Structure formats: structure tokens, C-alpha cells
Structure 1
């Protein structure tokens, strides 16, 4: 706790539209909408094919005002009061009692303000007003949301205090016997006189035991800031790790004349990280391949205001697949997300920017042809705000043990034309085939080309150096990285010079090139497609530290001219959090436990054909080697016309799999015989049960699909039976169509209506399909693959919730969920 920290998320009022007097205390806001934040107003709109833009998911923005009344107590009269916003999207103006406190254009960085001088006397009503201008609603290449979409805190401290984000903890000299914990504490004296004080720190172990208690006396000058460094030896340290994410807590107290005036808690982890240019990545002294995914910040039907429970469900699913790392593409994530990564054992790359000096064309991805009012993005504010936003993000994030990389940018090279022109990829000699071809020019020619071209207003190497220097000013314990789409140019432009690790974006073809010519620089893939061929390239090269798949979860946006598709469905998990075929393929690659997963398709609708030996072969010979984002069209059902030739695919890490149809063996096959790591059979369809039986080290694992009849009922499942009455907890309700025998129906769709009774908020519905443009804020939806999702959120009232689902023909049983304190 930083002094007295107040949850400032409840009892706001909201008005959608612009007002000249929106910040005035005299404004009548009686008819404004009451709500709690975090709040995203864009996700409440209908998808709009005409006014909306595919780059931001066909959902509009606009201007909105938020207001909150509050009264300060007498005890806060002589103290300092801060207001801290974890994220407002975007172009925010903050007012207290009609006076402007500050503005903040960047929607992803946290920010805080000292509002002490704007407050009225204790006992009198104060009003905080926030104007959010997202009228540039196509200012990004993905869905952003609009509003105060992350949490808000009010913090009250003595004039002698540790400010917000005022501690920094690192650990080194780590071994089994001990570790050294280093702590840097910022203390601020806002009094007009010097102050004597004592500062003490207790270290609490993961088991809750106090293991260290240190105290020292200090003096600080009037109106000055002081940095106090402490160092502690921790015996037999419990390390934070992806498989055992153990956390310590430092409790720092400031006392003056024996009186406690502030207690500040800092959770932290003890762990070591290292990138080796020949051996890859090491966590706590052991080599760990990075099995990562990129994630945008939206949570499907909840938009950008994502409750922690929604993220928890999604991250738990990714963990099941063996994922151990997240890239916050392409911007800082919320503090809640960081806390979950700490708790659940995910490494996290914090990425700062998608644009630097020059804009990206939001409608024409990577073809910078122009812009207009609605597409004006953060590049317009970069010169003024880049340093402040980067450092604020790092101050908030740098105590989190999950954070293992700072990324200064994503695919920035496109916006500096010299990079593209220097590579040789885009002339007549190469025709832009940078995905699969080695650089057409050698290093010397690329360098020559780059420096012969006219100097640009902003040079990529210069800006990269500024960002890297600011990053290292805040933290030198984690490497600086960037996602480079044209590394052959980045190595020669000065960009890669300032990076500790060079990230490659879809550039597996230059792994060996990069390692050969720049052997001192560790490399990894910071953006890859979720296919076997990408992982194969990594595991065959010890010097490649790992990869981040684009993407872990489907996301809204980047869907220009693709209506009704509102986003990209290249994720391992869909918009509603349901796993997809690629999820199971990656699980067979990333997990050691045996796994089998069965899919099927009509041969004529598949990517396959039958060769002369009656074997299933790819129509595009060796096509698997160059497959990109979309998984090929396969079904998770066993419903076809009798005697039709059906391709059965099985994704498995078992060395042998047997396929059975209604108990009859269709043959055993061996993984070593499938270069693409996909087991394949062709069988004539007969209804019944298709079964895949895998064997690994004596353990048998089975997956099967049963032919279903027509839909005759709805099966409801929930991920928890009890909610906490805190106004934030959520429950996911999944409705699955079933036939008369309760067999899941995956190949027929029905409109389903959810009926909800009791104290809760209906956050919305979704079916997971990228083509679903039904309103999220509803209780009725058409299924996709026979299923759909409802998310409910608790209020602050105890009681019971009852949920049923119905179609025009049938109804589910009633589910009861209790809401407790």
C-alpha cells in the first residue's frame, strides 16, 4: 500500500458526446449514465460496416466525459493526494474542480498526477472530470477501445513519502545457498524543512514468513528527493520460475519521531535471466526455449476493459498448450495483466510502441500512402511524449519478475523508407519475397545503399538509440529488444547496434545469416506463424532463443475491407476463448505429456488428394513448409454423407497412433513417417465413433468424435460455481448444442437466448467467429460450431444467479451460481 490507497473505480458518471462545460462543477450531470470503471464505450456500439474501419474492428470511437464526486477526510488535509490512471484511451484531459490537471495522449501508458492543490477543504465535495477524445477512431492497426478502460487509484500520503512506483528491486549473485536482493527506494520530502526519519524494510518469504528486518536512520533536505539503496542476503532463495512462480514481498516503512507515516509493499521475485548468442535463453541457470505468443489487449466481447477473470481463463488455456511467454503486442499491458503473469508463471515482453517518428497507414498495413483525421495516430505525439511514457511504464513494471525483455518497437522499419530501399528485396531482382528468400544483396551493399540514400528527417538508428538509452537509464537487468521486419537492414542502419537481442518478424530464413554475420547478437523470433515449420526452425538452432506466435488469441482489428470479418482469426484460441486446431498442434510441440487431437474433412474440400499408393498427400507438395497464419480447413465433427472419402488428421506427439472407426482399426501409423507432423488417414465415412489412440512410454491417450443427430438440447457449463461480490469477478457460461443422446452437435447452428436472473451484470455474448458482427451487448446469439459464450459479472450484492439458455425448440437446465462476500 502506498500511504492510503483508495479504489477509485466505482460510482462514476458517463456522458457520450462533447460538452463545452464538461469539467464545470456547476454542470448538471443528474441524467448522466452511472457506471464503474474500467469502461470501454466502443464495444457497446454495433459493428458498423459503413462508418467503421476494419483496422479497428468496425467499432466507432467519439468523445466521452467521465465525472466522479468524492469527499476528502480531515486526516488528509496536510497530505499529498495523487490520482493514478493505469490507462485511458486516449487523448485524455483530467480536471479537478474545473481546473485542468494535465493531459495525456497515449492510451497505453500509466500516468499519475498530484491533485492536492486542486482539492477543496475536507468535508466538501470535489469533482474529478475526464474528457476522452477518441474521435480519431481509426488511429491504430487493431482494436483499441475508448474510455477509462483500466483501473484508477487515489493515493494519499504524508508530505514525507515514497512516491508512486518509488521502489526498484533486483536480485543477483543467485545460487542455491543464497541471493543478494538490492533495493532502491525513492523518498520525497515536500515539507519546507529538513526531516529526520527512519526507513525499515521487512522481506516476507513466499510462505509468509518474515526473513529479514532492516532499519536505518536518514535525513532529507526540504523539498528534495533522495534515493536510498539497501542490500539484503536471502538464504536458500525460492526462485520465481515458469513452473513455480514464487513471490516475495518487501514491506518498507517510513517513520518520523517514532510514528509510522507510510507502509509501502513491493511484491518481487528472485530469478536470473540470460541470453547467450550461441545457446539461447537461460532462466535460473537452465536453458529454456521461449514458447511464446503475441497478444493484443482486447478480450473479445468485453473489448479493452478486460476483467482479470477473463484474462485468467485465457492465460490458463495458453498454459495448457505449453505457452511460457507473452509479448504485449504492440503496447504496454495493464497492471492486472502483469500481476497475472507473475502469479501464473509467464515470461512477459513489454513492448512500448508500434509507431515512432513516422506514422503507419492504418488502412493500408505497411503501405504508407496517406492519412486523414480519423487515422491520425500516436506518431503525432511521439516526439513530446515518448520518453515520459516509456519511463512511466518501466517504473510501474520493473519490479515484476515476469518481465524479461523491454521491446522498444514493432516493425518500425517500414516507416523509414531507406530501410526498405536498401535491402534489395523490393526491386526487380527479388519482388519483395522477404519471407522465404535470403537477402538479395550482401551486407556491404545493403550498408552502402543505406548510407548513400538521402538523410531522412528522423533516422531510425538515432531514434532507436534514444529509446534504448532511456530504457537502460531505468533498468539494465533486462535486455532491450525490438521486433525487426527487415533485420538485414536493421543490422546496418544502427538500429540493431543498440539492441541486446535482435527480434525477427517472420524471418526464419535469415536465422543462419544473422548468426553467421553478427555472431555477438542473440536472436529470437518475436513474431512467427503458429505452424510446425516455424518451431522446427527454432529447435534445430540452439542459438535461436525461441519464438512468439502471431497470435495466441484472435483479436479485433487489422481487417480492412474484410467485412463481416471484424478481426484476424490467426490465433490458437478464438475470440470467445475456445481452442482451435492450431492450439492442439502447438500443444503437441510444446508439451511433454502425450496428447492426441482428431479432425476430419471431405477429401475434395481439403488441402489433400489421394496418390497412386492410396496415401494422403498434400496437393501443394511441401506446402506445409510455407503455410502462414490461417490453419487449413478441418472439422471437429464426424457428420458426412455415407461412403464419402474423408481425410482424418490427428495432431499428436505420440510416436504411434492407431485410428479406429466403430472399433475397427483403420491402421497404425508412426510420427516419423510424417514430415509435417500430422498423422493422416483417408477412410470411407460411416456414422458412429471415430477414435484416435496414441501411445507414449506405455501411456495410452485417446481422442474420439461421435456422429451427432440434429440439435435437441443445450448443455450449459460454467468455469466457477461461486462469484465474489466485489463488482469485478466474472463467470463464463458456455452453451453447447447437443442431440437427443447428449452428444455435442458441432455442425449445426441455432439462435440461443440466455435468461439471467439475480444480482449480476451481463457483460455480453459471443460465438468465437471472426465473422460474428452481432452486438456483443446482448443476451441472444447464433452459435458457431454449435456453441456460444455468455459472461456475467458480479455486483456488490450477495445472492444467487440463475441462468438458462433456450432456442425456439428446446431449453437447457437451470444453472445456479452463488454470489458471496
Structure 2
């Protein structure tokens, strides 16, 4: 069914100090990240309000204690968890509430706690949540103390001691944001506000606002639902509908609305976001209010034309991303994701698969704002275990799949970036029997009930072995997703052209790219992976190295090659085999590790231009035209120190160049920052890149100097890192060895209103410095 979707996310409309809550005010959302007490150990009785925690560490969340290390081959997380620590952590927070709040409803919202969490308020258990990726909330109202001098204690126990619990790094603790939400007794319920549209053209769209209203008062409540839509100075509405909710009940009400002029659709190239203000009124009182950014777009998967957005077929050029960010672990500030998504955009990527679990909600906000197409995924396992993660979600699926799926879809269904859901990755449950069919169908049916506007898929594993193309299983899927074996997926479509197909996980090969490029029906691909990620490698390696980019955002040759296939801009990049006569990996430098034994250079150029000419020290080594199959252009080059230069041309006109220069001995350090202006919030962070260069400023790719970082001003060093997947160095220190000539320091501002200067030094090298201005 063709439908246009007006998609929305909820945001808190007000954030006030706890002490200033008015008795009958609308929703008040208070950040609850600061001033927690933490203990990295089990503590009997720590849920009790009077428990002595004065000697516990004071910190703010989000917080991942596992990334603090140390690395140890004997750690029970083993290969999957990157050999980082596991165990039990406790968090406690004390707070007060004014007496006027006794007439309101108060709940606590967690965006994610890793893992097997239990939450108490004033010694009363509120519940448990095994899946560390799920967002959840608890109503605190009946157990709270109100008024001056009445202290409440929130306690959280997170337990990931049972290992191995994952095939990849999970982190540990309250690693996402927490907030306290206070509402009137009548307020928006679990489903919040859900907005869809239809009959959209360039000028108008019909809009339907559907809201769940919950009445937790003692009497029936009559209310008015009102929505106003804005885009800049444009305003649509207000639109109103009336309803009644019985005491202790909830009801769903639909509100027809419209955008009646100059629609600006959402797309990767133009991620236009409107705003809607939805209020719940009783007489003149506003009971609840949510301000929502949203986008308008039509997304459709077609068996013949692949993926169609706003009436235009486009290819989803995606990558899979795990939820860690190298040295930051799982507690990733928004600027960390922004830094990574900016690099992926440069490489031509327009899609993200959230592998293999729900992500932080602000990550999806960023995808909305930056224009990424998202496959939103639930689970890596159902009931069957996987190697190196035998103690994972397979232990909880039967009891918890419905609650965890519901939580993800209700939270995420209004994001314009999300175009498809996935309910599993390489599931090892038997899909060749009725039970396997039912496990998939019950998940797909629930998602269709909660969000009928998007299709559902899963990442099929070895379909030939599971017989899913023969037994009718794939005919139950909205879109057929398969990992790797791209030509097998093409053949499956060709055998039954009514099948809609997408590559859910793909390699970096030319063959994989051509399967997408040359088949219109192929909706897209998601490369494994966008960035190197912690875990899923064998000691001494601690990090999977299959990303387009390394842990610190360094471009790999495969990223340059992918850019030549996926970018709309003219590009050219030079790489060579690191060893003599074609030995070793591809590298993007002209500085051999051993000048005495290197003379036969195997060189390739990755380019989307018609013609590439190669020069060595100004002498042409010949021009080569673009192959029909997009293969790289190759030269055999007798090595000589100096400059290797590529010139790319379209129709005889130069459109791009690239140079590799031979580096001399390391001489100095150059620092650059990703953020010349740095905010003081938790989600603000600057990536400081340190490069060891020679006297002429050429990167020294063989340098391995250990750098020491120092700072002045209101600065906090959040982490240091490099791209070495086998490094066992700590992250939360002020020293790091460069790897391939580079490392990074991730810096936060402790307060606004001053300048931060970062310096990197090493014996025998000239110091490097960079300065940032702090802002509110």
C-alpha cells in the first residue's frame, strides 16, 4: 500500500528544577543524569534507602564502566566482549520532590541499562529488565515521599556477570540517559502521539494524529486534543478533537489535520523537519504537551524497482553499526555519533542498519536531521544460542521478546529516518518447521499492529541450508533480507520476481557492489561494517577490523574504494600494496617500512572519473579509462622517493586529484579539532586528531611515538584512542601511542565561558596545540 508518512519523535516540552514543579502544570521532564553514586561490585542491601554509600564514587551517567578496563585475556567476556571486564555495578541517586507533586504522576525513564537491571525506589523493587538495549520506564508515584526534608533514593543494579553474553561488545552500567517525568493524572500514555499522512502532493497532505490518553485520576475526564504544525514561519492549525476517558482507563483518539501548502518532503538530500505541538487540555488547563520534530515522506519497497522514496527509486547505500564508539565504549555522546555519521556521508553512505539491537533514541534523532535511511533492528538471537555469546538474549527471548519489541517500535515509529524494521540477525532457530514460521510471524504481526506504515524483514542466514526459499518462509516476509551471498539473493528474486529483496549485511567486494548496481530490484545493501567495533576478534586483537573506518575515524583503503562507487562527487584515491611486489595489505602512503627491500610497487587508483592519469615525480606513467565494471585502475611502479600523483578527468577536464608523498623522519605533532566551538553538555565532544609528521608536514605512517596530552581551561579528557585493533592500552588516561602516524584525544568541556587549549608532546618532537572556544 502506498502511504505517505508524517513521522514524529517526542521531545520534552519543559525542563525545570524539581523544586519548581507547579501542582497542575503540564508535563515536566527533568534530566536525571547527574550526581549518582556508583560501586563496581555487588553490595548486599544497597537497595535500602539508609544504605551507606558515602564512600562510593560520584559520577554522572551515561556511564560505561567496562570500557575503563583493563584488558585481560582471562576476562569472561572473552572474544565477543573484547576481553574487557564484566560483573555487577550499583548506582544510587537521592532527590527530593515538593509537596505539590503529590497530586501528580511521576515516572523514571531509562534509555538503556546494561544489563539484567533491577530498579528500586525507596527500597521497593519496580521491576527487572534483562535486555540492556531496551528503553523502559517505571511509575514511581505510589512509593515517593513529597515535601521539604523528604528524601527519595533511586537504586539500580546492573549485572552482566553471566558470560559470554554477546558476540560483540555491550558495555556495562547506566550507559544511556535517564530522566524524571512528571505529569498531571491525565496524560499521554505509552503510545504517546502517532502521526501519519495520506493524499500528499506538492501542496497538501492529510494528517492524522493518533494519541493514547491515560486517565489515572479518580473521576472520568473530558479533554480536548490539539495539534499545531510549524515549519519556520509557516503555521498550520490548530486542529482539535474531543474525547472522554473513564477513571483508571486509557483511550485512543484520532485527530484529523492537514498541511495545506508547499510541502517540503524529507529525504537524505533534504532532511526537512517540521515541528508539531500536541496538547491535551481540560478547560483552560494544559494537562500534557509534547513538541515534536517530524518529517513528511513516502517510503515504499517494490519488487521491480527496489526502494522508492517520494516517488523516486534510489539505492540504499548503507552500513551496519554497532553501538560502541571505540575508546568511549557504549556511553557515546551525540557528537561522537555526529563525527562518525559525517565521515560516512563523505564516503557516500545514506543508510544505517542498527546492528543488532535498538539504539539510543538521540542517535535516531541525528539520523533524522542528517538524512540517513535506517533499518531498525531488534535482536541478534531468538531462542538458539550463538558461539561466543551462549549466555545472551537466547535465555530471555521467550519471555521478553514482546515487551522489548513493543518498547522499540512505540519509541521509534515516528522517526522519518526509519524505513524498515528487522526482527533478527542470522537467527539460528530452525526456520524449516512450523515453530520457526510462528516465531517470525508473531514478531512481524506485532510490529504491523503498532506501526502499519513500515515493512518487516530479517537478516537470513545461509538460506540454502535453512530451505527458506523452498519452504515458503520468505513469502511470509514483507521484504526478503539476506546476509552476504549477493548473487544467491539475486537468483532468489529472479526465480520469483514478486519478491522484494534487500541486502541486510554485505561485504566490501566488487561482486557485492555490482549485485546492487546492476539490479534495479535490489533495494539496497548494508556493508559489514561502517566502523571497526569492540569485540568479535581473537586475542591479542580486541576489535573487529572489518569497518570502512577504523576506531578513530581513519579512512581505510576500502572506504576510499567505496566512495568511488557510492559518492555523487568526483573522487580519486591512490593506494599501494604495503609489501614489495604485491605483498601485504593496501595502504594509502608512499613511505615503505623498509626502503632497502621495496622497489616493485603495485598501485591502484579508486575513482569514479572517466580517466585517471598517474604521475611519479612529475613524469606520466600513463592514463587509464574507467572499466565498465568499476574495477580499480592498476599500475606497476618502480619505487622512487618523492610524489605519486593521480589526476582524474571527466571529458578531458580535471575534476579531482590525489597525492602520496614519501615522508622523512618524524619531526613534529599536528593537532586538529572536529569542533572549534565546544558546548558544555554531556553530548558535546571534540575529536582532537594528533598526526606525527616530518619537517615538511607529511604524515609519517610508520611512526609509533607515545604522545602525552595536556590541557588548560575548563576541559575534561574523555578518552584517548588509536586505530590499532591489538592495542591493550587504557582509554581513560592522558597517553597514547600513535598508530600509522595518528591517534586521537576526545575532549569535553566542564563549563562554558572560557578557552580550552590541548597540547600533545613526545620526546624528540615539536609539540602540537589546538584551541577551542567553549559555548553554552
Q: TM-score range by the shorter chain?
A: over 0.9
Q: 1:669 aligned to 624, 634, 650, which one?
A: 624
Question: Does 1:62 pair with 2:87?
Answer: yes
Map Cα deviations across residues 419-474 of structure 1 (whole Å, 9 max, x no partner): 5xxxxxxxxxxxxxxxxxxxxxxxxxxxxxx56xxx8xxx2111001111111110
Deviation at 1:394, TM superposition (A): 0.5
| Cα deviation digits, residues 385-436 of structure 1 (max 9, x gap) | 1101100111100010101001011111x333xx5xxxxxxxxxxxxxxxxx
Distance 1:296 1:495 in 2: 28
Report the Cα distance in structure 2 between the residues aligned to 1:743 and 1:512, rounded to whole angstroms.
Answer: 45
1:587 counterpart (563, 567, 571): 563
Q: Match of 1:469?
A: 445
Alignment of 1:694-713 (within 5 A): 694-697=648-651, 698-713=653-668
Matches of 1:600 and 1:353, distance apart in 2: 39
CA offset digits 1:16-44 (Å, max 9, x no partner): 10011111111111111111111100000
Following superposition, the deviation at residue 165 of structure 1 comes to 4.5
Instruction: Give the equivalent residue in structure 2 for 1:689.
Output: 643
Structure 1 counterpart SS, 2:419: strand
CA distance in 2, matches of 1:142, 1:291: 24
Deviations 1:517-543 (A, max 9, x none): 332220111110022221111111111
Q: Does 1:775 align with 2:730?
A: yes
8 Å CA contact 1:360–1:415 kept in 2: the answer is no
**Distance in 1 (alpha carbons) for counterparts of 2:490 and 2:685:** 47
Which among 531, 548, 552 is matched to residue 553 of structure 1? 531
Q: Are 2:611 and 1:656 equivalent residues in the alignment?
A: yes
Correspondence 1:753 to 2:688:
no
| 3-state secondary structure, aligned to 1:756 | strand
CA separation of 1:74 and 1:778: change in aligned 2, threshold 3 A: same
Query: Any residues of structure 2 matched to 1:518-537 within 5 Å, and which?
Result: 518-537=496-515
In the alignment, the residues of structure 1 paired with residue 307 and residue 392 of structure 2 have an alpha-carbon distance, to the nearest angstrom, of 35
Query: Partners in 2 of 1:663 and 1:114 — Cα distance?
Result: 72
Does residue 791 of the first structure (1) align with residue 746 of the second (2)?
A: yes
Unaligned runs of 5+ in 1: 364-374, 420-449, 609-631
SS state at 2:296 partner: coil
Q: What secondary structure sits across from 2:469 in the alignment? A: helix
Alignment of 1:205-604 (within 5 A): 205=231, 207-235=232-260, 236-362=262-388, 375-412=390-427, 414-416=428-430, 450=432, 459-488=435-464, 489-493=467-471, 495-559=473-537, 562-601=538-577, 604=580
The separation in 2 between residues aligned to 1:30 and 1:586, in whole angstroms, is 53
Query: 1:537, 1:217 → 2: CA distance?
Result: 53
Whole-Å Cα distance in 2 between the matches of residues 602 and 386 of structure 1?
A: 48
1:602, CA displacement in angstroms? 5.5
Describe the SS at the equivalent of 1:228: strand
* 1:154-173 deviation digits (Å, cap 9, x = unpaired): 10000011135511112222
> SS of the counterpart of 2:227?
strand
Between the aligned partners of 1:154 and 1:89, the Cα distance in structure 2 is 19
- Cα displacement (A) at 1:794: 1.8
Q: 2:101·2:146 contact (CA, 8 Å) conserved in 1?
A: no
Residue 19 of structure 1 pairs with residue 43 of structure 2: yes
1:36 and 2:36 are equivalent in the alignment: no
Tell me, yes or no, if structure 1 residue 138 matches structure 2 residue 164.
yes
Change (3 A) 1:493 1:25: farther
Change (3 A) 1:516 1:668: closer
> How far did residue 785 of structure 1 move?
0.8
**8 Å contact 1:138–1:362 — kept in the other structure?**
yes
Contact 2:33–2:60 (CA<8 Å) still a contact in 1?
A: yes
Identify the residue that residue 632 of structure 2 maps to in structure 1. Answer: 678
* Aligned counterpart, 1:634: 587
CA distance in 2, matches of 1:277, 1:682: 44
Distance across 1 between alignment mates of 2:655 and 2:281: 63
- Range with bigger deviation, 532-541 or 295-304: 532-541
C-alpha distance in 2, partners of 1:405/1:645?
48
| Structure 1 match to 2:16 | none
Q: Distance in 2 between matches of 1:65 and 1:188?
A: 33
The answer to whether 1:724 aligns with 2:672 is no
**Distance verdict in 2 for CA 1:684–1:517, change over 3 Å:** closer
Runs of 4+ with deviation above 6 angstroms = none
Which whole-Å CA distance do the structure 1 matches of 2:676 and 2:750 have between them?
16
- TM-superposed CA distance for 1:266, in Å, is 2.3
2 CA distance for matches of 1:588 and 1:249? 37
1:727–1:233: structure 2 CA closer, same or farther, 3 Å change rule?
A: closer
Following superposition, the deviation at residue 208 of structure 1 comes to 4.6
Residue number in structure 1 paired with 2:8 = none
Quote the Cα distance in structure 1 between the aligned partners of 2:403 and 2:240: 33
1:115 is aligned to: 140
Per-residue CA distance 1:46-95 (angstroms, 9 max, x = gap)? 11112240111111110000011111123322000111111111000000
- Give the stretch that moved more between structures: 694-703 or 548-557: 694-703
Shifted more, 295-304 versus 505-514: the winner is 505-514
C-alpha deviation, 1:274, in angstroms: 0.8
**Counterpart residue number, 1:94:** 119
Q: CA deviation at 1:490?
A: 2.0
Q: Name the Cα RMSD after superposition.
A: 1.7
Greater shift in the superposed pair: 786-795 or 493-502: 493-502
Separation in 1, partners of 2:360, 2:445: 24
User: After the TM superposition, which of the residue ranges 296-305 and 797-806 deviates more from structure 2?
Assistant: 797-806
Where 1:38 maps in the other structure, the secondary structure is: coil
1: CA distance between counterparts of 2:127 and 2:766?
A: 53
Aligned equivalents of 1:607 and 1:277: distance in 2? 44
Distance in 2 (alpha carbons) for counterparts of 1:76 and 1:602: 67
Q: TM-score, normalised by structure 1?
A: 0.88
What are structure 2's unaligned runs of at least 5 residues?
Answer: 1-11, 14-26
CA-CA distance at 1:132 after TM superposition: 0.3
